Structure 1
Amino acid sequence: MSKPHIVVIMADQLRYDALGAHTPHLSALAAQSVTLDRAYCASPLCLPARGAFFTGRYPSATGCLINPWEPSEQRHGHVRAGTPSLYSLLEGDWDSWHTGKQHLLLEDRPDKRDDARTHWLSLAGNYDRHLREHGKRKPGGPAFQGIVPEMARGTRTRAMRYSIPMTGIYEEGFAHFFDGYIANRTIEALRDRDTSKPLLLNAMFVAPHPPLEVPEPWYSRVREARLPDNVGVWAEGQSPLQLYNLPGFVGSRYTREDWARIWPVYLGLVSLLDDCVGMIIEELKRQGIYDETLIVFTSDHGEMLGSHGLWQKMCMYEESVRTPLWFKFPASAGLAPRRVAQPASAIDVLPTICDYAGVPAPAGLDGHSLMPLLRGEPAEARDIFIQYDGNGARGNFQRCILDERYKLIVDLFKDELYIELYDASGGDPQEMTNLSLEPDKGPIIELMLAELREHMAATGDLLHLPEAAYETFVQRYGA
């Protein structure tokens, strides 16, 4: 098999259920793809999610746990030097390009080296220069941010400014918006590529990540949205520790009526993303390589958008951790479009690409190739693990294990611990009924906690779950 062209398109903070009539290009791509209906990120936060995605390793194994805004904890925001990534594995034989958001931070910073073999057209620096040259302002600003308390190192609380669900029109227009700029640079990359080599393109978009200041016509494109029933609802049995975390601290202030005004703007931003993807597909077709290209479409994580009364991500509910994950194969692969119901993790993408492209995968990966599953062959079900260690600093911790029957969430803040157990088989899709205090669920929870501890030890997790975690939880929160 000749080496395929490979295009990875990643959205930022895209809910798995945010596609529809306003996303015709993505809907068409999905119809031509093998789609995984239950795909999950490895962490509901940008840097650790992308570090895991591009290396095939869990965050604790890469060392990238947080967004490193706290100077004393910057080492926890970088993938350890020497860790193989999709870029380093393919950039020798493929003509490798990166466009857009650069949230794969490796300690050895290959994107900053003069001898870099990947063409790094990152947003950082280049976009600010573009705005200065054209006399335009960046989307967002103080009105789109709010003060949020954040625990740093488990010892002190600091006041930080993070995005809130404020909406507005970005009057500077598409070409100067984050994703318009990224889309235009991506088309330039496709036209500047070395046509003597197969293409590797990683196009990293910002949309639909806030700020929700969106250019027209996308700001007004979606007039109304049907809200899921759990939007604006704090469920009985939901972890109260979320109120110490950004999603609950911000999201609990907004009513269902507020979210009804916010949702259409978010979906308008998803529509803008859809048009950007359409631009890439159109250029691939213009160059006659669309049918020779493996296209992987996904998001780094999801967005709560009011579900459970929460905002942004940074939690383990489906809206935050479940992502779209599609593989549109070259025509020669003979893989018909189909939907896969078995759970999969973002750490499985790198070994899958290596398997399909005929590239030896590095030893010791946590992820596994999905190719047997994508071909429709029987594949052993595996547990999915997800972790969260804090946003700009370590302080709020969550661990999650998901099997085909249940999802177990352990939420920790300072000396408190809260446990949630949800039916993952389809009986409670919006996760509104926490089963953790039902008497017959104790053995199930203890077994899942044991599997979670085993996983944490194997990946070098810095966090330790007490052996009496469930007993303590029941004593504190039981009747």
Structure 2
Amino acid sequence: MTQLGQNCLHAQQTKHTSVIVIMADQLRADVLGKGFTPNIDALQKDAVTFNRAYCAAPLCAPSRASFFTGLYPNRTGSMINPWEKDDEVYGNTKAGIANLYGLMDAEWDSYHVGKQHFFTEEKMDKNPSTKTKWITQETYSKWMKEQGKPKPGGKMYKDVAPELVSSTHTQLRSYSTPATGLYKEGINYFLDHYLANEAIKAIQNRDTKKPLLLNAMFLAPHPPFSIPEPYYSKYGLKDFDLPENVGEWYPGQSPLQMYNLTGFIGSRYNREQWGQIWAKYLGLVKLLDDEVGRVIVALKQAGIYEQSTILFTADHGEMLGSHSLWQKMCMYEESARVPFLLKLPQSVQPAIKVSNEPISLVDFLPTVLDLNAIKHPGRMDGISLLPLIEGKTINRKAIFLQFDGNGSLGSSQRAVVMGNYKLTVDMFKDEFYVELYDLSKDFQEKENLAFNQSFSQKTNELLLVLKEHMKLSGDRVVLPAELMKKFLKNYKYGIQKSDKVQ
């Protein structure tokens, strides 16, 4: 535990408090605060906002593994969604690694309600001895079968895309597209409404002799965009401003994204089509906000809101047409940056309301452990955010992100965020593509500075930091010694505008 955490913030409270995690799935951080999320925005007023929070991996399973363990994917062993049997070992967190549930569920009344993509070798959620109550998407599927109702989605919301398997060969796999449609069964049978109902039951039926640990894992606004009324028709094109980079494929962005689901499907749609899709996405965001609002009301009615630690976040973002890309699985801000709103117990008075320091989802576990005076289980990649909350500085040079394939071990990406700069290395088999952006001046990442000789020193500096991290974390990938020389020789001035895919 940090000395500051022991002597400052923890001194303001004397006992364990309830911990509530509300996690959305595939939520763009830039849609908050614009009228679509009044309940989440109300929570933000009571919270410390971290404007530059990043996932550790822009994919469900590895992101959640890092969130719950405080470790980067190279250390957890969870690097992909384990859909391909030959590669499923890379989707599970290694046995013996401590996590939020195991560290807290002995003293907290622990519930997991919602999407369960924290896969572990021990099959933690299936263990009869677990102290956590698990209510998951499987529970919902059984309930829907009993009700005789079809779940949202279906074949019309999917299409095939090529996917590299075991980093050696390609197969076709079915994934969600941006197709939109009305879910006719209504909100009462929609997954996120069911999950909010179950989260409320957990709050009402909790063991009042213990603090509550509630992990409410919503699916919205993850596709399929099979959405009930009134949310399906809630918004039109006049209700929002479409970001400038939607429907644009910039000259300096990686062409290797075309080997990935992101570009293979995303590049099919133009800006006008994306605008129609955005309207439906924002309706799903409003649905999410309403369900989060119901959970917040239940916490207040139970009398535990004020003294709870509450985090609202997402596992990753959503491109939704930015850079002409779809879903996540890339390092652009829309995919990699997440909301991170941390409401502290009333007894803890933060010195700040907003932080612009780059942080990672791996930082939550050490922070919540320090807040509750729980000894750290060992070395973690994440650090406690208590110094930042106290208005102090933190001693961290950079944060890191990685991607190793979607449903199998495939194309890879590595990224480092250091100060205002982000550097990404995109890889497909033996090809490499480098991108560098100054986020303080180019937050939509339109100009790849890796081609600008004036930034060659900065590019090499970040590459060195990234390589060192990859080495220390036992990365399976090794970047070549003369990466930039080969990259600039191959691409010269980038992918020209005349070559863009539209």
1:271 aligns with 2:283: no
CA drift of 1:365 comes to 0.5
1:460 counterpart residue number: 474
Whole-angstrom distance in 2 between the partners of 1:320 and 1:110: 28
Please tell me the residue identity of whatever aligns with 2:371. Y
Stretches of structure 1 that go unaligned for 5 or more consecutive residues are none
Contact 1:31 1:337 in 2 (8 A): no
Of residues 136, 150, 167, the one that matches 1:154 is 167
CA drift of 1:405 comes to 2.8
SS at match of 1:291: coil
2:229 counterpart residue number: 216
1:395 aligns with 2:410: yes
Whole-angstrom distance in 1 between the partners of 2:350 and 2:234: 35
Matches within 5 A, 1:81-230: 81-124=95-138, 126-224=139-237, 225-230=240-245
SS at match of 1:149: strand
Please tell me the residue identity of whatever aligns with 1:326. L
Relative distance call for 1:129 and 1:79 in structure 2 (3 A) is same
SS at match of 1:43: coil
- Residue by residue, what CA displacement relative to the aligned partner does 1:150-188 show, whole Å, maximum 9, x if unpaired? 111122111111000001111111121110111111111
Relative distance call for 1:48 and 1:320 in structure 2 (3 A) is same
SS at match of 1:331: coil
Whole-angstrom distance in 2 between the partners of 1:249 and 1:145: 13
Contact 2:266 2:321 in 1 (8 A): yes
Whole-angstrom distance in 1 between the partners of 2:268 and 2:137: 32
1:238 counterpart residue number: 253
Whole-angstrom distance in 2 between the partners of 1:240 and 1:138: 36
Of residues 359, 370, 383, the one that matches 1:355 is 370
Contact 2:82 2:91 in 1 (8 A): yes
Deviates more, 1:444-453 or 1:59-68: 444-453
SS at match of 1:147: strand
Of residues 47, 63, 81, the one that matches 1:33 is 47
1:477 aligns with 2:491: yes
1:15 counterpart residue number: 28
- Residue by residue, what CA displacement relative to the aligned partner does 1:344-377 show, whole Å, maximum 9, x if unpaired? 0110110000011111112111110001101212
CA RMSD of aligned residues (A): 1.0
Whole-angstrom distance in 2 between the partners of 1:36 and 1:381: 16
CA drift of 1:337 comes to 6.2
Contact 1:342 1:381 in 2 (8 A): no
TM-score by length of structure 2 reads 0.94
Whole-angstrom distance in 2 between the partners of 1:144 and 1:318: 25
Moved over 4 A (4+): none
Whole-angstrom distance in 1 between the partners of 2:335 and 2:445: 12
Whole-angstrom distance in 2 between the partners of 1:379 and 1:93: 30
Whole-angstrom distance in 1 between the partners of 2:455 and 2:303: 56
Deviates more, 1:67-76 or 1:436-445: 436-445
Whole-angstrom distance in 1 between the partners of 2:352 and 2:190: 33
CA drift of 1:441 comes to 2.1
2:78 counterpart residue number: 64
CA drift of 1:380 comes to 2.9
Whole-angstrom distance in 2 between the partners of 1:188 and 1:201: 11
Matches within 5 A, 1:357-396: 357-396=372-411
Contact 1:12 1:208 in 2 (8 A): yes
2:420 counterpart residue number: 405
1:79 aligns with 2:93: yes
1:42 counterpart residue number: 56
1:444 aligns with 2:458: yes
Deviates more, 1:327-336 or 1:180-189: 327-336
SS at match of 1:327: strand
Please tell me the residue identity of whatever aligns with 1:63. G
Whole-angstrom distance in 2 between the partners of 1:256 and 1:328: 37
TM-score by length of structure 1 reads 0.98
- Residue by residue, what CA displacement relative to the aligned partner does 1:169-209 show, whole Å, maximum 9, x if unpaired? 11111121110111111111111211100110000000000
1:324 counterpart residue number: 339
1:293 counterpart residue number: 308
Whole-angstrom distance in 2 between the partners of 1:417 and 1:103: 30
Please tell me the residue identity of whatever aligns with 1:395. G
Whole-angstrom distance in 1 between the partners of 2:295 and 2:329: 30
Whole-angstrom distance in 1 between the partners of 2:449 and 2:465: 19
Contact 2:351 2:389 in 1 (8 A): no
SS at match of 1:219: coil
- Residue by residue, what CA displacement relative to the aligned partner does 1:372-391 show, whole Å, maximum 9, x if unpaired? 10121222343010000000
1:334 aligns with 2:349: yes
Contact 2:108 2:213 in 1 (8 A): yes
CA drift of 1:321 comes to 0.2
Whole-angstrom distance in 2 between the partners of 1:29 and 1:382: 30
Please tell me the residue identity of whatever aligns with 1:15. R
- Residue by residue, what CA displacement relative to the aligned partner does 1:397-445 show, whole Å, maximum 9, x if unpaired? 0000111131111000011110011012x10010000010111222222
SS at match of 2:446: coil
Please tell me the residue identity of whatever aligns with 2:83. W
Please tell me the residue identity of whatever aligns with 2:476. L
Deviates more, 1:334-343 or 1:286-295: 334-343
Please tell me the residue identity of whatever aligns with 1:432. K
Number of residue pairs the alignment of both structures matches = 477
Whole-angstrom distance in 2 between the partners of 1:133 and 1:300: 30
SS at match of 1:200: strand
Contact 1:22 1:222 in 2 (8 A): no
Whole-angstrom distance in 1 between the partners of 2:354 and 2:470: 31
Of residues 299, 305, 315, the one that matches 1:284 is 299
SS at match of 1:313: coil
Please tell me the residue identity of whatever aligns with 1:277. V
Whole-angstrom distance in 1 between the partners of 2:27 and 2:420: 25
Contact 1:168 1:214 in 2 (8 A): yes
CA drift of 1:451 comes to 1.2
Contact 2:418 2:462 in 1 (8 A): no
Please tell me the residue identity of whatever aligns with 2:19. I
